[in-house]
C-alpha cells in the first residue's frame, strides 16, 4: 500500500515537472471560438498572426491564481497592413455578414408583414360586404380574419426584432467588442 502511494506521488511530481515548462498556443477562429495546442505548427496558416503563446510562470506561486499562464505575442510574419479585429478576433467580414443577415431578416419580415396585413384588411372588407349573406360564411370569414391578423402580428414582431437588432443590439455588441462601427453599416 505504501509502495503504491509512493509511486503515485513520484508520478505526480514528474508529471508536474514536465508540464510546468509546457508552452500553449491559443488563437480565435472566425466565429470567435478559442483553440489551444502545444504545437505551433498545428495552428492554421491564416490564424498564425493571431496566436498567443502562453507559458507557465517561473517559480512557485504562494497561492493559486486564476491566471496560471502569462501571455506572449508570437509574431510569425510581419504583415504590411494587419487586418483589424475585435476583442475576440472577429474581423470586418464577420460583422458585415451579421449585419447583412439581420437586414435580410428585416426585409423579409417587412415584406411578409405587408402581404399578411393587406390580406387581413381585404378579408375585413369582405366581411363588411357579407352582412346579408349566411351566418356560416360570416363565421368562416371571421376565422380567416383572425388567422391573418395573427400572421400579421407575428411578422410584425419579427420585423421589430430585426429592426431592434440592427439599430440597438448589434451596435451595442460591436461597441463592447471594440469593433469598428462602420463594419455594421448597411451599404
Residue 161 falls inside a structural domain: yes
The pLDDT of residue 165 is above 70: yes
Query: Do both 136 and 158 map to the same domain?
Result: yes
Residue 144 falls inside a structural domain: yes
Q: CA-to-CA distance for 85 and 180, rounded, in angstroms?
A: 9
Query: Do both 43 and 113 map to the same domain?
Result: no
* Chain position carrying cell 472577429: 90
The pLDDT of residue 140 is above 90: yes
* Chain position carrying cell 501571455: 71
Query: Do both 128 and 160 map to the same domain?
Result: yes
Residue 102 falls inside a structural domain: yes
Residue 141 falls inside a structural domain: yes
pTM, two decimal places: 0.54
User: What average pLDDT does range 65-82 have in this prediction?
Assistant: 54
The pLDDT of residue 65 is above 50: no
Query: Do both 50 and 74 map to the same domain?
Result: yes
Percent of the chain with pLDDT over 70: 78
pLDDT at residue 64, rounded to an integer: 46
Domain extent at residue 144: 92-184
Q: CA-to-CA distance for 140 and 136, rounded, in angstroms?
A: 6
Query: Do both 154 and 97 map to the same domain?
Result: yes
Query: Do both 150 and 168 map to the same domain?
Result: yes
Total structural domains within the chain: 2
Residue 133 falls inside a structural domain: yes
For 2-45, what is each residue's pLDDT tens digit?
788 777 878 777 666 665 666 777 878 777 787 777 777 777 87
pLDDT at residue 5, rounded to an integer: 76
Contacts of 97 (CB under 8 A, 6+ apart): none
109 touches 155 (CB < 8 A): yes
155 touches 113 (CB < 8 A): yes
Order of strands, sheet of 23-28, starting from the edge strand that comes earlier in the sequence: 34-37, 23-28, 52-55, 70-73
pLDDT at residue 144, rounded to an integer: 94
Amino acid at each position: 500500500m505504501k509502495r503504491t502511494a509512493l509511486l503515485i506521488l513520484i508520478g505526480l511530481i514528474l508529471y508536474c515537472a514536465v508540464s510546468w515548462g509546457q508552452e500553449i498556443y491559443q488563437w480565435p477562429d472566425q466565429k470567435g471560438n478559442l483553440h489551444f495546442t502545444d504545437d505551433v505548427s498545428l495552428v492554421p496558416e491564416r490564424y498564425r498572426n493571431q496566436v498567443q503563446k502562453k507559458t507557465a510562470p517561473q517559480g512557485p506561486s504562494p497561492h493559486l491564481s486564476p491566471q496560471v499562464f502569462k501571455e506572449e505575442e508570437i509574431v510569425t510574419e510581419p504583415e504590411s497592413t494587419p487586418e483589424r479585429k475585435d476583442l475576440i478576433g472577429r474581423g470586418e467580414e464577420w460583422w458585415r455578414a451579421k449585419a447583412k443577415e439581420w437586414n435580410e431578416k428585416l426585409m423579409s419580415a417587412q415584406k411578409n408583414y405587408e402581404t399578411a396585413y393587406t390580406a387581413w384588411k381585404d378579408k375585413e372588407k369582405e366581411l363588411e360586404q357579407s352582412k346579408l349573406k349566411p351566418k356560416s360564411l360570416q363565421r368562416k370569414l371571421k376565422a380567416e380574419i383572425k388567422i391573418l391578423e395573427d400572421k400579421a402580428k407575428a411578422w410584425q414582431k419579427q420585423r421589430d426584432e430585426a429592426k431592434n437588432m440592427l439599430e440597438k443590439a448589434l451596435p451595442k455588441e460591436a461597441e463592447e467588442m471594440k469593433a469598428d462601427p462602420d463594419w455594421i453599416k448597411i451599404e
